[in-house]
Amino acid sequence: MPIIESIPNVSEGRRADVIERLANAIRSTPGVRLLDYSADASHNRSVFTLAGDAAGVRAAILALFAVAVEAIDLRTHSGEHPRLGAVDVVPFVPIEGVTMADCVALAKDVGAAIAERFAVPVYLYEEASTNAARKNLEDIRRGEFEGLAAKMASPGWTPDFGPTRPHETAGASVVGARMPLIAYNINLDTDRLDVAKKIAAAIRHSSGGLRYVKAMGVMLEDRRLAQVSMNLTNYEKTPIFRVFDLVKREAERYGVSILESEVVGLVPSAALIRSAEYYLQLDRFGDDQLLEKKLSQG
Active site residues: 81
Each residue 96-115 as x (binds a second copy by CB under 8 A) or -, in order, gives: x-------------------
Which residues between 186 and 225 bind a second copy (CB under 8 A)?
187
C-alpha closest to that of 203 among 244, 256, 260, 258: 244
C-alpha closest to that of 60 among 99, 100, 26, 92: 26
Question: Is 272 a residue that touches a second copy (CB under 8 A)?
Answer: yes
Instruction: Pick between residue 105 and residue 290 the one whose CB is nearest to a second copy.
Output: 290
Question: Is 279 a residue that touches a second copy (CB under 8 A)?
Answer: yes
Sign (positive/negative) of CA torsion 165, 169, 170, 171? positive
Which stretch, 100-108, 147-155, 230-238, 282-290, contacts a second copy (CB under 8 A)? 282-290
Size of residue set near a second copy by CB under 8 A: 44
Instruction: Pick between residue 201 and residue 267 the one whose CB is nearest to a second copy.
Output: 267
For residue 20, count other CB atoms closer than 10 A to its CB: 14
Residue 164 exposed, middle or buried by CB count within 10 Å (0-12, 13-18, 19+): exposed
For the bound state, the minimum distance from the C-beta of residue 202 to a second copy, rounded and expressed in Å, comes to 19
CA 157, 162, 166, 170: dihedral to nearest 10 degrees?
-130
Distance CA 2, CA 231 (A): 26
C-alpha closest to that of 62 among 102, 125, 6, 126: 6
Q: Please give the backbone phi and psi of residue 262, each rounded to the nearest 5 degrees, phi first.
A: -150, 145
Question: Is 263 a residue that touches a second copy (CB under 8 A)?
Answer: yes
3 state SS of 275: helix
Question: Is 267 a residue that touches a second copy (CB under 8 A)?
Answer: yes
Instruction: Pick between residue 211 and residue 223 the one whose CB is nearest to a second copy.
Output: 223
Instruction: Pick between residue 85 and residue 180 the one whose CB is nearest to a second copy.
Output: 180
Distance CA 186, CA 132 (A): 32
Each residue 41-80 as x (binds a second copy by CB under 8 A) or -, in order, gives: ----------x-----------------------------
Helix ranges (DSSP H) in 44-172? 54-71, 100-118, 137-141, 148-153
Distance CA 266, CA 254 (A): 31
Question: Is 244 a residue that touches a second copy (CB under 8 A)?
Answer: yes
Question: Is 150 a residue that touches a second copy (CB under 8 A)?
Answer: no
User: In the set 101, 133, 153, 282, which binds a second copy (CB under 8 A)?
Assistant: 282
Which stretch, 11-19, 127-135, 151-159, 258-266, contacts a second copy (CB under 8 A)? 258-266
Interaction site with a second copy (CB under 8 A): 3, 5, 33, 35-36, 51, 95-96, 180, 187, 240-241, 244, 258-263, 265-269, 272-273, 275-277, 279-285, 289-295, 298
